[in-house]
């Protein structure tokens, strides 16, 4: 993994640069900043190879800690716990958000590491019911690699999964409902079918009303989660849900993986639904690259 933006003196800007130049630049950087190894190697830092030679700063796998540092949520201002909603999506070069109904064929192992890290940083993962059904969602795991970080951030062992659904047409016998570490939340409208609400609650899920009709008002959903103490929000889509969050103006950040694949066909884009009147502007916060996949972070301007 290597960092392409923000540009630092460790960034490889010229593919023809020699290995010697890279090492020289990195050594020069360390002379100014001190060794990168203290308190965890900085992204892009050198590592000694098994042969005792230094490897180029871009050619190694980042630790989960480094990825977590690169994706840290903004610090909330004291006394002002404002929720921050980020989305994590993957898209092909031609804008497809899935292939054969799943995102897995356009993802890869590093994308899944980023995906897992973003989960580990979140208080709650918001997801549309169709993605839960199509991708056969399971409860979020407690991961030893992130235990200290979560504890220090005042978070429980794993994020809650919050499913947005009007129909509550979900299989409540699944582990997602019966045996999560943290009770699964279901965000729905006040007019949701009472028998489905009862079935959800019987399974152990917690039903949260965030709309006056059958559906959920996206802005109200964000507020309802914040009222439950969840301020580091992550949505994993799908496109129909993400489109509504964009339209409601509640999306603060998009972590978009650009997969170096082309699929053609009529797949959904990452955000669907009616177009908004004026395109919303986002600014690039960071850009990482590995194996031709781009890992971007955009925050709303
Ligand atoms: N590329 C990626 O990063 C990515 C990420 C996620 C998913 N995907 C893909 O996207 C596809 C699924 O996405 P999708 O856009 O079709 O569906 P989705 O957004 O995951 O879910 C849509 C469902 O969410 C519920 N919903 C949405 N808005 C609601 C509202 N305002 N109030 C109440 N309920 C609401 C409804 O559930 P009910 O029908 O239960 O009422 C609706 O049918 C899958 O193929 C998946 O693989 C790709």
pLDDT at 161: 98
- Report pLDDT for 60: 85
Ligand 1 contact, 169 CB (< 6 A)? yes
CA of 94 to the centre of ligand 1 (A): 20
Q: How far apart are the first and last CA of the chain?
A: 27
133 CA distance to ligand 1 middle (Å):
9
pLDDT at position 7: 87
Measured from the Cα of 165, ligand 1's closest atom is 34
Closest C-alpha residue for ligand 1 atom 28: 241
3-state secondary structure the chain: CEEEECCCCCCCCCCCCCHHHHHHHHHHHHHHHCCCCCCCCCCCCCCECCCCCECCCCCCCCCHHHHHHHCCCCCCECCECCCEEEEEEEEECCCCCCECCECHHHCCHHHHHHHHHHHHHCCEEEEEHHHHHHCCCCCCCCCHHHHHHHHHCCCCCCCEEEEECCCCCCCCCCHHHHCCCCCCEEEECCCCCHHHHHHHHHHCCEEEECCCCCCCCHHHHHHHHHHCCCCEEEECCCHHHHHHHHHCCCCCEEEEEEECCCCCCCCCCCCCCCCCCCCCCEEEEEEEEECCEEEEEEEEC
Which segments in the chain show pLDDT lower than 50? 12-56
- Ligand 1 pocket mutation pick from 114, 126, 130 by most atoms within 8 angstroms of CB: 130
Residue 57, pLDDT score: 54
Q: For a pLDDT cut of 70, what percent of the chain falls above it?
A: 82
pLDDT for 282: 97
Count of Cβ atoms closer than 10 Å to residue 228 Cβ: 15
Instruction: Report pLDDT for 34.
Output: 30
| Res 76: pLDDT | 73
State if residue 98 touches ligand 1 by the CB under 6 angstroms criterion: yes
- Ligand 1 centroid to residue 71 C-alpha, Å: 24
Q: Is 24 in the pocket of ligand 1 (CB under 6 A)?
A: no
Q: How many Å apart are CA 53 and CA 191, to the nearest integer?
A: 65
Token code pair at residue 248: 């409601």
């Amino acid at each position: 993994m290597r960092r392409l933006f923000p540009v630092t003196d460790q960034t490889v800007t010229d593919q023809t640069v020699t290995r010697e130049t890279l090492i020289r630049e990195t050594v020069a950087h360390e002379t100014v900043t001190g060794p990168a190894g203290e308190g965890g190697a900085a992204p892009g830092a050198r590592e000694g190879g098994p042969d005792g030679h230094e490897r180029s700063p871009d050619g190694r796998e980042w630790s989960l800690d480094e990825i977590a540092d690169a994706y840290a949520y903004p610090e909330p201002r004291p006394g002002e716990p404002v929720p921050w909603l980020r989305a994590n999506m993957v898209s092909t070069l031609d804008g497809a958000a899935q292939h054969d109904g799943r995102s897995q064929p356009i993802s890869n192992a590093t994308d899944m590491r980023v995906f897992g890290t973003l989960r580990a940083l979140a208080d709650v993962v918001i997801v549309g019911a169709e993605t839960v059904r199509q991708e056969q969602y399971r409860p979020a795991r407690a991961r030893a690699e992130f235990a200290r970080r979560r504890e220090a951030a005042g978070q429980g062992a794993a994020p809650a999964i919050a499913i947005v659904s009007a129909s509550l047409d979900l299989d409540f016998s699944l582990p997602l409902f019966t045996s999560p570490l943290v009770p699964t939340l279901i965000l729905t409208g006040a007019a949701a079918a009472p028998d489905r609400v009862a079935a959800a609650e019987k399974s152990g899920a917690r039903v949260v009303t965030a709309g006056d009709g059958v559906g959920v008002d996206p802005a109200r959903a964000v507020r309802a989660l914040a009222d439950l103490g969840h301020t580091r929000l992550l949505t994993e889509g799908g496109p129909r849900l993400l489109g509504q969050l964009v339209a409601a103006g509640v999306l603060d950040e998009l972590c978009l993986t650009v997969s170096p694949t082309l699929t053609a066909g009529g797949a959904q884009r990452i955000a669907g639904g009616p177009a908004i009147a004026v395109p919303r502007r986002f600014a690039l916060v960071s850009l990482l690259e590995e194996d031709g996949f781009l890992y971007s972070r955009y925050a709303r301007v």
